[in-house]
Amino acid sequence: MPECFYSWCGNSMNAPRGYISSFLPSFPIVAPLFAISLAMNYPLAFTSLAVAVAVCIAVCRHKASFRAIPGPPSPSWIFGNMLQLWVSSPYGKYEFAWLKEYGNIYRLKGCFGQDRLMVSDPRAVQHILNSVNTFRISPILETLLHTIQGPRGIQAVRGEEHRRMRTALNVAFTASAVRQYQEIFEKVARTISSRLEAASEDVVDVCHVLGAGTLSAIAEVVLGRSVEELDEELVQVLSIIAVQETRHTPGSVIANALGALLPQFSLLKHVVSLLPILGLLRKTRKLATRLGTQVIEEKAAALENGMDPGDDLYAYLLRQNTTLTKEDIAKQTVILLTGGQDSTANTLTLGLLELARNPELQEKIREEIQSMTNSSHDNKPLLNALIKETLRMYPLEPLVERIAQRDTVISLTESISTMAGERMDHVPVHKGEVVIVGIASYQRDKSRWGENPDKFDPLRWVDGRVVKGEAIGPYANLLSFFGGPRTCLGWRFAVLEMQTIFSELVGKFSFALAEGEPDDLCVQLAVSLQPSDAKGNKVVPLRVTRLL
């Protein structure tokens, strides 16, 4: 579940006014949620609260350890550079310009004059993502993960328990385990093909078709169930989560700033997760866990009776006899369904959009696919270059905030100059300070990815322009699947799924921009980085023509 997930909760609050008062007794816990709600319902009261908090912060604040590092001017004391960073449209309008001007370590202003360190230096990024005890996610994000996944969800558990659970789950995500799901991916790809065919020679919202396709893939591969067999209510909540208009807003930026100040008490998680405004998250978890439990029970019974439990991921996990209990497996259903669907659908959609913008490249990739039908997808260089370039340009989680739990030092790949002209090859960070890992910025660093890093150009992966550099992330030195102990568990699954679906679709159809329509499609930061039209709707209309 991406970092920016909780902005979604902010936007989905249509709470009746009177009900806000029920948050007041637990105000320190729910401050961010309260802030968004207040902003929407009582703008004046919100402004007064924001000013009061700002004054407190200004009084208590100590000088940030990285104050001497240059960075862009701040346009506002209340928001600092945070609106430019989190709310700009298209995503990265300011961030990628700052990267060019200030390099891969610079200082930003957070809300109410607080300093933030923006980091995309590879060594520093690796250090932060690996040091999960020193750099923790904000308490409010932890609370939301706890709400949607429950205390036993893989993203909610920490430390040794996380390591144990990950090792056990990983048996179903190794290269050889994932190869077993190939046939199911092929079946799903053919279903997507027939849906497109039904609409062929017409303009189709590929985002919608691929969203439905990747939900089928995840349901069939993980649970051995077709979408038609899933609870209708569950499919409905999953699609609300996927298409919800969840862009960041000034309210969510303030909530973010306040959320970073909350204490890390586990009791708070339990209290906050009961709040009525988080009802949709609880409902998703309840429905998904109920389905997971039912599936696991059926498969366990089949195994006990010497019958075939199926060839899906849950059956595989049960057969492997891992240290996970049946309840623990069932409790991962919500992260697997939510984390595995939209992420892959968005990446596939953005890849097809880029091919529609570049017919020549599309034709080259099609020729490779059609001439290598019997080869493994791993042997198709252009197909894999398309996947890598789409992941590079459009990381699902482009910004990651972490709060230092103690004083520490971050070493850099290359030294930087302070405003006074001194050289620094490491940056001290004090307890409580917030660093922002710029994953999208890291993936646009010219020294690593070659000339024109802002251009979508898959050929950079085959003509030697990409520099190997320090090994980072699980796939192609990219951080789109994250890095460190919290690396995406499903990255091999996602790569094989994308290889299979791209091969099927690009091999059989041509994709073009809708004629007469301006190409105003872009990406915006919502729950994750999402394709969007100029009005912010999650739609990508493309003209799809059947070729074979």
Question: Which residues fall in the annotated binding site for heme?
Answer: 488
d(CA 386, CA 396): 16
| Interface with ligand HEM (CB under 6 A), residue from 343, 349, 413, 524 | 343
Among 84, 120, 344, 503, binds ligand HEM (CB under 6 A): 344
Nearest to 430 by CA among 410, 414, 413, 415: 410
481 binds ligand HEM (CB under 6 A): yes
Of 33, 324, 335, 404, the residue at the interface with ligand HEM (CB under 6 A) is 335
Report the largest interatomic distance among the alpha carbons of the chain, rounded to a whole angstrom: 74
- As given in the structure block, the two tokens for residue 126 are 């690796």
**Shortest Cβ distance from residue 387 to ligand HEM (Å)?**
9
Smallest distance, ligand HEM to C-beta of residue 484, A = 9
369 or 437, CB closer to ligand HEM? 437
Q: How many CB atoms lie within 10 A of CB 452?
A: 12
Interface with ligand HEM, residue 92, by CB under 6 A: no
Separation of first and last alpha carbons in the chain: 38
CA distance 217 to 496: 11
Please report how close the Cβ of residue 488 comes to ligand HEM at its closest, in angstroms. Answer: 3
Pattern 492-511, ligand HEM, x by CB under 6 A: -xx-----------------
Q: Which two tokens stand for residue 115?
A: 């300093």
Nearer to ligand HEM, 49 or 288 (CB): 288
Retrieve residue 259's tokens. 């959320």
Cis peptide before 250 (omega within 30 of 0): no
Q: Which of 83, 315, 489, 505 binds ligand HEM (CB under 6 A)?
A: 489
Output the DSSP codes for 324-363.
Answer: --HHHHHTTHHHHHHHHHHHHHHHHHHHHHHHHH-HHHHH
Residue 482 binding ligand HEM, by CB under 6 A: yes
**Based on CB atoms, which residue is closest to ligand HEM, 343 or 384?**
343
486 forms part of the interface with ligand HEM (CB under 6 A): yes
Residue 301's contacts (CB-CB under 8 Å, 6 or more residues apart) are none
> Half-sphere exposure of residue 101, counting CA atoms within 13 Å on the CB side?
11
Minimum CB distance to ligand HEM smaller for 167 or for 375 = 167
Among 339, 474, 507, 531, binds ligand HEM (CB under 6 A): 339
**For the chain, what is the total number of helices (H) and then of strands (E)?**
23, 12
Output DSSP code: residue 69: S
When the beta carbons of 2 and 211 are compared against ligand HEM, the nearer one is: 2
Q: Which stretch binds ligand HEM (CB under 6 A): 115-123, 338-346, 363-371, 415-423?
A: 338-346
**Element (DSSP H or E) covering residue 520:** none
CB 401, min distance to ligand HEM, A: 10
Contact 388, 460 (CB under 8 A): no
Which span (39-47, 121-129, 446-454, 479-487) binds ligand HEM, by CB under 6 A?
Answer: 479-487
Distance CA 342, CA 530 (A): 9
* Residues in contact with ligand HEM, shown as a per-residue x/- string from 93 to 122 under the rule CB under 6 A: ------------------------------
DSSP one-letter code for 323: S
Q: How far is the CB of 103 from ligand HEM (least distance, A)?
A: 24
Residues 510-539 that bind ligand HEM (CB under 6 A): none
Annotated binding site: 488
Minimal distance, residue 214 CB to ligand HEM, in Å: 8
Q: Which amino acid belongs to residue 284? A: T
Q: Is position 336 an interface residue for ligand HEM (rule: CB under 6 A)? A: yes
Q: Which residues, 151 to 180, sit near ligand HEM by CB under 6 A?
A: 154-155, 166
Distance in Å, CB of 3 to ligand HEM, minimum: 5
- Nearer Cβ to ligand HEM (15/494): 494
Nearer to ligand HEM, 155 or 362 (CB): 155
Asked if 340 touches ligand HEM (CB under 6 A), the answer is yes
Please report, as residue ranges, which positions from 370 to 399 form the binding site for ligand HEM (by CB under 6 A): 396-397
**Cβ count within 10 A of residue 416:** 19
95: left (phi over 0), alpha (psi -120 to 50) or beta: alpha
Which residue stretch of 361-369, 466-474, 488-496, 512-520 sits at the interface with ligand HEM (rule: CB under 6 A)? 488-496
Question: Side chain identity at 365, as an amino acid letter?
Answer: I
Query: Which one-letter DSSP state was computed for residue 136?
Result: E
AA identity, residue 58: A
**Side-chain half-sphere of 238: how many Cα atoms within 13 Å?**
29
Stretch that binds ligand HEM, among 7-15, 85-93, 403-411, 483-491 (CB under 6 A): 483-491
Please identify which residue in 126, 347, 362, 441 interacts with ligand HEM, judged by CB under 6 A: 347
AA identity, residue 513: L
Rounded Cα distance between 416 and 469, Å, is 19
> Cα separation of 11 and 144, whole Å?
14
Given the DSSP bridges, would you call strands 509-513 and 135-136 parallel, antiparallel or unpaired? unpaired
- Asked if 488 touches ligand HEM (CB under 6 A), the answer is yes
Count of residues near ligand HEM by CB under 6 A: 23
Residues at the contact surface with ligand HEM, assessed by CB under 6 A? 2-3, 154-155, 166, 335-336, 339-340, 343-344, 347, 396-397, 480-482, 486, 488-490, 493-494
